[in-house]
Amino acid sequence: MTARRRPTTFRLFLVSLAAFLRSVLGIAAGDPVNVPGGPASVRRLLRLDADRPAATFFRDVHEVLLFEGESQARWSDVEGRRTVVEFVRDLRGWRREFGASAVFSASSKEDKQHARRALAWLGIKVEGGSPGSWTTESRSDAEALSRRRFFAAIGIPIPVLLSKLRAGEEVVVAPRDGTVPLPLGLAAWRQILREPGLSAADAFLSFVENVRASRMLLAVDDLDAETLDGLGAVAGNGAGSIEALRFLFERALDSFSRFPEAISLDGRRFDLPGGREADPVWTDLFGASPSEPARFLRQLYERDAGKGAYVVDSLQQLPAAAARALVLGAEGSGAKSVERFRRLYRSIRAGEGIATARRDPYDFAHVAAFLPLFPEGEGASSETERRRFLFVSSLVEARPELREPGLVALLRSGVDRFFPAYAVLEDVPVGPEVARRYVTLLDRLDRRKDSRATEVVCGLFGTGAELFAQLARSNALPLPAIRDLFSAYLELSLFAGEPGSPELGATELLSWLFDRLLASLSAAAPAAAGPPEEAAKADDLLARALVGPPAPVRLEWRGGRYLFDPTTDELSRRREFREKQRLASLDDLEKIRRARAELVAAAGRGDADSARRMLVDLATHLRIADSAGVPAAGGAPNEEETAAREFVTAALRSPAGAPGALPTDLRALDALVAARGLEAMLGHVYSISAGDPEDLYYQDPDFVRRHSFRRVEKGGKVLVSSFGPTTLAPRESGGGSRVSGSVFGLPDVLGLLHAEQIPYKPGAFIGNEQIRSGLVGPIRRMSPARLDDDAMTFVAASCRTAEELAVTLEGSAERERLRTWRELARDLVPRSRLARVAKLGPGEASAYAVGEELSPTDLYRIGRRLALGSFPSSASPAAQKAREAFERLREKFGEAGARERIAEFGPRAVAYDGRLRLTDRDLPAYERLAAYRTPQLFSDRLYDWKVSVARAVAEAGLPAAVLPVVLPE
């Protein structure tokens, strides 16, 4: 895969380079060049939208071709390029054989022979007399496959051709060439590539067969017209822009093609991060002054194999104030700032790390905006430190009460081992003392010797913590109550007591579960409408609390009136999932608790007969024996099931009066009680993220029970831990898959299963699985309790605010429009796309035109910034409507609650397993994120559909409650 930074879906193109046309060479922009078979055929060949405009053709095609191959590959090593070349070859062969236009039918003997000859050319053997009785046999050699692919590309699939011939219809095959504009024009490319013979007839194929030229074409297209115009001054020898572009092509293509936006010109000098005040810093770094553009350009891209351009390009994307702070620090221009930035530059990794197709998610380019501004320049000392700072700083920004220095140091020390578990601290509003106890317990439990008993304890700790996080999100209880319950949970002897001994805290766990948690939920729940025995069911009570209070809405649709409650729909889905799993329920736990208490009471009275009956009753509820005390049959038992069965069998065999006839030491049974408690709680956690009931894992009754919290080490390195990333892997035996690690990343893992419907067999593998899981994860994470009409109104109004800005600016000069867009969104959208938006002059700005350049996510983020910021252009009606909606959210939920609800619509950075964190951060443009290929970065573009659907629902006047129904899954 190439090191280009954009996905294949990026489809924008620089149509006009008017300023460049005025260069001394008088180059014609957009010279029409011939495309054999026509642009639509080539687009179909490469599986692109055939209806895209001609102006975007070269960019669309070469993005795909570069995405498919390594940057240094020969054209013949890239499948897409070979496919295009073969298409042109087959087109020419067809025309030699059958002419530019041919008509085929089966109406006469000669026509049949002509049609048979065409089918034979396509590698299809025809047998039978009349066309209606024709049978065909297709060759599968490379030539035949290529020719049939050619026919499909020109818009005549083979099945369509055969069906028409059999039906006696005529088929006209007349593939026409077409023309598209070549960016910069032929004269410019002849000089840049030093190919004086490049012509309109062969330019298309020449770029396909020249990988370096293909890379250069896209890099130049990333430059705005003003910068291209300024390159003429940079060359400094009267040769105009071409001289500078030719230097970049011949001497610095690798770094220029990756970081073209490092070039930013203001007249005859470079415009660099930090402004002119930072000139001494850049002069020291590159050995050339920004005021000497010709020398500086060469040093920019040649210094340290492109590392200098990488750093400048990264800083160019930041808001001006943030870039200045990183370059100059708090002390401003001077010797100290020069020395400080020199140290910072040395700490940034260079070499292959900045050129690989899959870059480190915590490299300098990604985290530059988030680095601590230490005067010594130590903020970028290592990827590990950046990651620790990035996540912990985001957490304490969301929860200012956790900013105690000692706690921050503790949090940083645990990032690498169990950061996914930190998500609980952002959801549950605890103070420093409880947070410290939580992190300390994570550390203590994570260090316990691996065993089945340790697995159960760690699983209970993580599962319980996740339940609290979800309860906080659903507003089932007042936050103080959740905080107190969570604190009491951390004090259970199960976690703080003897290592690896769940049997010692099982009864205390059940007491806390029923007497504290469920009792609090029952007291806070609204009166149930059904019979008392149904309303009192423990599983329904917890499930209702996790979903949130009922929120029925009335809506009109196509003449009908409907009452819809998204929470009821969600409850049904979760119940269906749990019922299909072979798990203990909370109701089972209640029976287990009652039976154990009666057993202990009978043994205390010395009543052997009652004790034996209660023991059988308890064993039955634990699913290790039937009502007669006979060990229950089933799959392979785990350790605690085996020990419990042996205990029950031995106790029932003891004669009356024997020491074992009155069981008093119930540790073997209590270990199994703890495991059944884990099953019941885990079933609720899984049901939160479970998706479509048709998914395969719904049909696997042991899917949840197979979750492994065991530690997996190899070569002294921990690969899987109870509080680390959630992973999915095929089972070693028996088929199917199992989930390992913490429960905090379940949305992505179950999203992966939903997106791909992985076959349950050993060795099943899906490529790009992290990205595909992200297609589902961001949607499933939207709890019904977070749905709000005002939040959706805010999204729609924010999108319109960005569109209205383009209309407001259309009367000003293009340079002023570009400057406004850059000041507003330089860290959100690349300069090249902002430049195309800035070209929309009087009568050209419209929602459609802006939408061609800005994605739904771009519109939302820019509009959100306008609505909530202090920009002069934020006085539009849409911006006012967005602010009013946000004010209503703030009145209902407070400042933090309001921002949490709009953050549900993304895009939000994601940490590790896909747990949504870093809500205070704005992600870079999706072109840059695509270089990393990981969910926490790639999810930016995946929010497009969520924003689009939310906007459509809001503008249709429908309530937010219907959003989960209409969102695709």
Please give the helix or strand (H or E) that residue 67 lies within, else none.
helix 57-68
Residue 948 has a pLDDT of 86
Instruction: List Cβ neighbours of 183 (8 Å cut-off, separation of 6 or more).
Output: 13, 14, 17, 29, 30, 58, 59, 217, 220, 221
Query: Encoding tokens for residue 322?
Result: 């943030």
| 54-to-80, 209, 219, 298, 516 alpha-carbon distances in Å | 20, 21, 19, 34, 67
Best CA proximity match to 488, nearest among 519, 456, 459 = 519
Distance CA 394, CA 911 (A): 11
10 Å Cβ neighbour count for 453? Answer: 21
The C-alpha R_g of the chain, in whole angstroms, comes to 33
CB of 856 closer than 8 Å to CB of 34: no
Residue 695 has a pLDDT of 65
Residue 357 has a pLDDT of 42
Best CA proximity match to 2, nearest among 183, 209, 250, 211 = 211
Question: Angle CA(680)–CA(683)–CA(687) in degrees, nearest 5?
Answer: 150
DSSP-derived secondary structure letter, 449:
P
Distance CA 458, CA 567 (A): 31
CB of 72 closer than 8 Å to CB of 234: no
Tell me the one-letter amino acid at 476: A
| 401-to-395, 396, 425, 432, 433 alpha-carbon distances in Å | 10, 7, 11, 7, 10
Distance CA 551, CA 584 (A): 30
Query: Encoding tokens for residue 296?
Result: 């500086």
Residue 815 has a pLDDT of 84
Burial of 395 (0-12, 13-18, 19+ CB in 10 A): buried
| 671-to-504, 639, 722, 869 alpha-carbon distances in Å | 8, 9, 19, 56
pLDDT mean for each 10 residues of the chain (969 residues): 34 28 40 94 90 85 80 85 96 94 89 91 88 86 94 91 89 94 91 94 95 92 80 61 87 88 81 90 92 88 88 84 82 83 80 48 62 45 58 76 88 83 87 94 88 91 93 87 94 76 81 94 70 65 88 75 80 89 93 91 84 88 75 69 86 69 80 93 90 68 88 70 81 71 82 52 37 43 76 95 92 88 86 86 88 88 87 78 95 86 68 41 56 40 76 89 70
Best CA proximity match to 323, nearest among 334, 314, 331 = 314
Query: Encoding tokens for residue 237?
Result: 């020898």
Distance CA 826, CA 119 (A): 55
DSSP-derived secondary structure letter, 708:
B
Instruction: Return the residue matching tokens 């085996």.
Output: 642
Distance CA 538, CA 549 (A): 16
Cis (ω within 30 of 0) for the bond into 7?
Answer: no
Distance linking the first and last C-alpha atoms of the chain: 28
Instruction: List Cβ neighbours of 136 (8 Å cut-off, separation of 6 or more).
Output: 119, 124, 125, 126, 127, 162
Alpha carbon dihedral 159, 165, 169, 171, in 10-degree steps, equals: 70
10 Å Cβ neighbour count for 529? Answer: 8
The model carries a pTM of 0.73
| 323-to-269, 328, 807, 831, 897 alpha-carbon distances in Å | 18, 8, 30, 16, 31
Please give the helix or strand (H or E) that residue 180 lies within, else none.
strand 178-182
Distance CA 505, CA 671 (A): 9
CB of 953 closer than 8 Å to CB of 966: yes
Residue 505, phi then psi, degrees to nearest 5: -125, 10
Please give the helix or strand (H or E) that residue 456 lies within, else none.
helix 452-474
Provide the β-strand partners of residue 127: 135
Distance CA 89, CA 701 (A): 55
Residue 388 has a pLDDT of 65
CB of 726 closer than 8 Å to CB of 446: no
Instruction: Return the residue matching tokens 């909370």.
Output: 586
Q: Cα–chain-centroid distance for residue 408?
A: 28
Residue 783 has a pLDDT of 67
The sign of the torsion formed by the CA atoms of 843, 846, 848, 852 equals positive
SS3 534: helix
10 Å Cβ neighbour count for 112? Answer: 19
Provide the β-strand partners of residue 32: 181
Tell me the one-letter amino acid at 89: R
Query: Hey, where are the domains in the chain?
Result: 18-182, 259-374, 387-555, 690-780, 784-903+922-966
Upper half-sphere CA count for residue 593 (Cβ side, 13 Å): 20
CB of 277 closer than 8 Å to CB of 238: no
Upper half-sphere CA count for residue 177 (Cβ side, 13 Å): 15
